[in-house]
Structure 1
């Protein structure tokens, strides 16, 4: 299995695992403050991990043209998205909200294909639709007609999905850079914004052990998960990463079944089959054609594979992967590939 696929599924697993655990915490932490602490744990934990990894603070490695993309991702994904979601949840039934949140994967893929010209063949489209269909079945409301009524609250949740779809596509633009810095920055901003909202509406601070436990869950389920998501974006592109990540609701439902003792019906197993079909279609995808690489200069961890045949102007100990600024000359060849950071060509 491609390592980037493992990153995407790992991101989905960690996020899916965090959902039932967060549900257990709702008894002692308000929803808005809970979201803030989860994001804050993500940001603080990742920035601390980066500081420890680099033995101090190091430059980010982002080029001047990449900062606007990161700033846009933070604004849309870390500020506007969470605020729109919290406002929408106040006016929308939980079942409807869960259903609408599945639009994020669809919007992410559509933006990637239409606005950012990312390639997607029929197999990838069908696989994504199968995964999203499984998510929709899992979250389909079972209550009365009032659960299905749409209004301003639902519109705000759709807006939140659009914000996160924009965030995902913007993040792809900087996915070759330091994943810890990218994910940590987004977590810190989102955490500060949501905690500030919670304090402004009068939420009370939970006991210290509960707050620290919530932040620890956020570090893994939101922080490490986001780092893996960025690494997957680097190797798979936006639409495919979003599709793999869409299995998170299934993982959350499975954990809820084991951890919370919740019962499942036939819909759970139908959704499982659809998601398994979608993942299989993506895993067995083979995209190969003659393509040309334009000259490129960037920095990211790499092996000396067929795309990285360069000499070093510094002492190198032979360890791989390693990261440094390097140049890619123009090249034309044929091999199987994903729309990763080296294959963002038009078709």
Structure 2
């Protein structure tokens, strides 16, 4: 297992999970739309400060690939689906359904992420990964279950919101080589602005007091901003299906915080959910995907070290030290090693029989594929 990717994905889930109980507390002092706006604005503004500090300090080790013209369609898709449509559909659904049904339905996001990654973007998903994801989602369902699953007409809105976030997670994978702080900042500012406008103009809501505003923005910075940066870095190492599955641990983290801090959760239910999620996590951690594969010649820009996939020469303009970020060319390479659908291993698996152990038992025809989903030209 890629330990870096695992750590980042779990960090994302922990930060979001911890933020959820505190975000719910905010709803007692403001409309849901206003809370969503402040949370996202806190994310965007906080990350803008991080970007400014990073530029002022001129930290070369924090350099990331800039946005390029080819990235704009993916970025617009991420903002439209995950930043605008998803929260809006969720608010419409919450206004028309009960809390039990809404909590249960929000677990659709991780399922949507995995299915879209598997069916649309052709990420490798073997039976071990699927079973692990089912266990993790089952644990989240146990946490959400409140004795009934009555679905109001608003349920379709919530399912649509989860599908939007599933699309967002997969589109974000196409941007995982780009500076994640910049992507998350733009998403937070746009989503926050749209939600605030809806609350102020259409709902005629007033701004809450300064303490509530500051609290909401602080929660948003950690639970939405830093969490999203960690999620996007996890996508870089693991791909959307696996990162999305680990992110489904967030409800468990939120439940633990609720139990310890607020005393509002059933410990027995928490133990059952934790057991299911632990089984799912073990299935993922024990996954081994190993087969001979071909890296066709490709060129792109991203943060890297000179590992087995980055044996290239430097010009006098390239930055010194490692890790560093610059435009570089990969020569054609054929080799075999354990790997995941990271930036350099997004290849087809047609003709392979991946058994439940995740091993390859078939052919090795992976030629002619763009392994990171980008049009490899110089950044604009």
Using structure 2 for the length normalisation, give the TM-score: 0.87
CA distance in structure 2 between the partners assigned to 1:302 and 1:346 by the alignment: 23
Match of 1:309 in 2: 311
The answer to whether the 8 Å contact 2:259/2:267 transfers is no
| Residue number among 64, 67, 75 corresponding to 1:62 in the alignment | 67
CA distance in structure 2 between the partners assigned to 1:8 and 1:193 by the alignment: 27
CA distance in structure 2 between the partners assigned to 1:315 and 1:30 by the alignment: 52
CA distance in structure 2 between the partners assigned to 1:257 and 1:314 by the alignment: 57
Question: Counterpart of 2:226 in 1: which secondary structure?
Answer: helix
Match of 1:228 in 2: 230
1:198-209 alignment, distance < 5 Å: 198-199=199-200, 200-209=202-211
| Residue number among 123, 129, 136 corresponding to 1:124 in the alignment | 129
Match of 2:37 in 1: 36
Q: CA deviation at 1:294?
A: 1.6
Q: CA deviation at 1:142?
A: 2.3
In the alignment, does 2:254 pair up with 1:252? yes
Q: CA deviation at 1:318?
A: 4.5
Match of 2:27 in 1: 26
Q: Please, which moves more after superposition, 309-318 or 204-213?
A: 309-318
1:190-339 alignment, distance < 5 Å: 190-199=191-200, 200-314=202-316, 318-339=320-341
CA distance in structure 2 between the partners assigned to 1:77 and 1:117 by the alignment: 21
Q: CA deviation at 1:54?
A: 2.0
CA distance in structure 2 between the partners assigned to 1:318 and 1:284 by the alignment: 37
Match of 1:176 in 2: 177
Question: Counterpart of 2:56 in 1: which secondary structure?
Answer: coil
| Residue number among 70, 75, 79 corresponding to 2:80 in the alignment | 75
Instruction: Kindly provide the CA deviation profile for residues 298-347 of structure 1, in whole angstroms up to 9, marking residues without a partner as x.
Output: 11111110001111112667522111111111111000101000000011
Q: Please, which moves more after superposition, 100-109 or 51-60?
A: 51-60
In the alignment, does 2:110 pair up with 1:105? yes
CA distance in structure 1 between the partners assigned to 2:256 and 2:217 by the alignment: 23
Question: Counterpart of 1:291 in 2: which secondary structure?
Answer: strand
Misfit runs of 4+, over 3 Å: 56-60, 315-318
CA distance in structure 1 between the partners assigned to 2:166 and 2:264 by the alignment: 31
> Structure 1 unaligned runs (5+)?
none
The answer to whether the 8 Å contact 2:38/2:213 transfers is yes
- Structure 1 residues 61, 263: closer, same or farther in 2, change over 3 A? closer
| Residue number among 85, 100, 106 corresponding to 2:90 in the alignment | 85
Match of 1:156 in 2: 157
Question: Counterpart of 1:65 in 2: which secondary structure?
Answer: helix
Question: Counterpart of 2:343 in 1: which secondary structure?
Answer: coil
1:138-153 alignment, distance < 5 Å: 138-142=143-147, 148-153=149-154
Question: Counterpart of 1:327 in 2: which secondary structure?
Answer: strand
Q: CA deviation at 1:138?
A: 0.6
Question: Counterpart of 2:44 in 1: which secondary structure?
Answer: helix
Equivalent residues, number: 343
Question: Counterpart of 2:313 in 1: which secondary structure?
Answer: coil
Question: Counterpart of 2:70 in 1: which secondary structure?
Answer: coil
Match of 2:141 in 1: 136
The answer to whether the 8 Å contact 1:43/1:187 transfers is yes
Match of 2:166 in 1: 165
Match of 2:362 in 1: none
Q: CA deviation at 1:65?
A: 2.2
Q: CA deviation at 1:76?
A: 0.6
Q: Please, which moves more after superposition, 279-288 or 2-11?
A: 279-288
Q: CA deviation at 1:151?
A: 3.6
CA distance in structure 2 between the partners assigned to 1:72 and 1:253 by the alignment: 31
Instruction: Kindly provide the CA deviation profile for residues 112-149 of structure 1, in whole angstroms up to 9, marking residues without a partner as x.
Output: 00010000111111111110010011101225xxxx33
The answer to whether the 8 Å contact 1:60/1:181 transfers is no
The answer to whether the 8 Å contact 1:81/1:161 transfers is yes
The answer to whether the 8 Å contact 2:65/2:303 transfers is no
Match of 2:50 in 1: 49
The answer to whether the 8 Å contact 1:16/1:249 transfers is yes
